[in-house]
Amino acid sequence: MKKFYSLIAAIALTATVNAQTTLLSEDFASYSAGGNTASSGLAAPSATDVYTDGSNVSTFPTGTKVYAAGGMAKFGSSSVAGSMTTGTLDLSTDGGNFKVTLDAKGWIQTGGTAAGKITVEVTGLTAQTLDIPAQPSSLTATTPLTFNFTGGTANSTITIKTTSPTRAFIDNVMVITTSTLSVLDPSKTKANLVKNTVVANEIIFGAAANVSIYNAAGQMVKTAEVSENSRLDVSALPKGNYIVTGLVKGQAVSQKIIKK
């Protein structure tokens, strides 16, 4: 058993985990009117500009020329671009690194092909634009797009808009902060944050810190303020591997623990 724990400890010295926090998620389920596979008729997007009558998507309180399209949002008209702007978001967490992901497809013209461009604008940062690949009118699948940003700040807003062509369909928008946590070798750090790396019900701490605990999927599952030699109850956490992070005397320390 001692050799097994030694092996786990050796693996912990080089392990990394990607931590992420979802700040916004919108699937446009409330945009149920109309459709997104035709440019005319009953299967076309709703002719009502949702922002004329008031938005029914709380995640995007302002915008223009955005229409209900059968569970998607259709941005833009034949000559005017469409746009949506989020409420205020704190994009400074995780070092200001975040991404905006969405699914998109071009405006479907009967018997032709379609392509489009999507631009994402963030307060204080350089805007980014990505192309939507051309696709035939019979293709209903969307294309996933990811916009990666650094330097995010608090009290920011994000605007998603079409450019040229001015029409496109958008779905499943998410704003996610991202960071990579490295597990450090305790022998090379001045502060040993966790005393017992194999845990039954309590973590025993070797230093005072504000700590965060992440599971193997990078999700934060617990936070606490601890003192030296204090114990933190983690009996409710499922068995598995976790990363404990904290700032000890100005030094970032991360350690892997095993919950039995």
Q: What's the confidence (pLDDT) of residue 9?
A: 39
Q: What's the confidence (pLDDT) of residue 217?
A: 74
In the numeric block, which tokens belong to residue 148?
């990666």
Flag residues of the chain having pLDDT under 50: 1-15, 184, 186-190
Domain ranges across the chain = 20-179, 183-259
What are the pLDDT digits (tens) for 18-66?
Answer: 567 889 999 999 898 888 888 788 888 888 887 665 556 889 998 999 9
Fold of the 183-259 domain: Immunoglobulin-like (2.60.40)
d(CA 51, CA 171): 17
Q: What's the confidence (pLDDT) of residue 7?
A: 35
d(CA 102, CA 28): 11
**Residue 214: which of 256, 247, 184 has the closest Cα?**
256
Q: Phi, psi at residue 9, to the nearest 5°?
A: -65, -40
In the numeric block, which tokens belong to residue 15?
């392990």
In the numeric block, which tokens belong to residue 81?
């671009």
Fold of the 20-179 domain: Jelly Rolls (2.60.120)
Q: What's the confidence (pLDDT) of residue 22?
A: 87
182 within 8 A of 243, measured Cβ to Cβ: no
Q: Which residues fall within 8 angstroms of residue 178, CB to CB, at 6 or more apart?
A: 18, 19, 20, 94, 97, 98, 99
255 within 8 A of 182, measured Cβ to Cβ: no
Q: What's the confidence (pLDDT) of residue 96?
A: 86
pTM over 0.85: no
Q: What's the confidence (pLDDT) of residue 27?
A: 92
Q: Is the peptide bond before 238 cis (omega within 30 degrees of 0)?
A: no
> Could you tell me if residue 218 is left (phi over 0), alpha (psi between -120 and 50 degrees) or otherwise beta?
left
DSSP state of 115: E
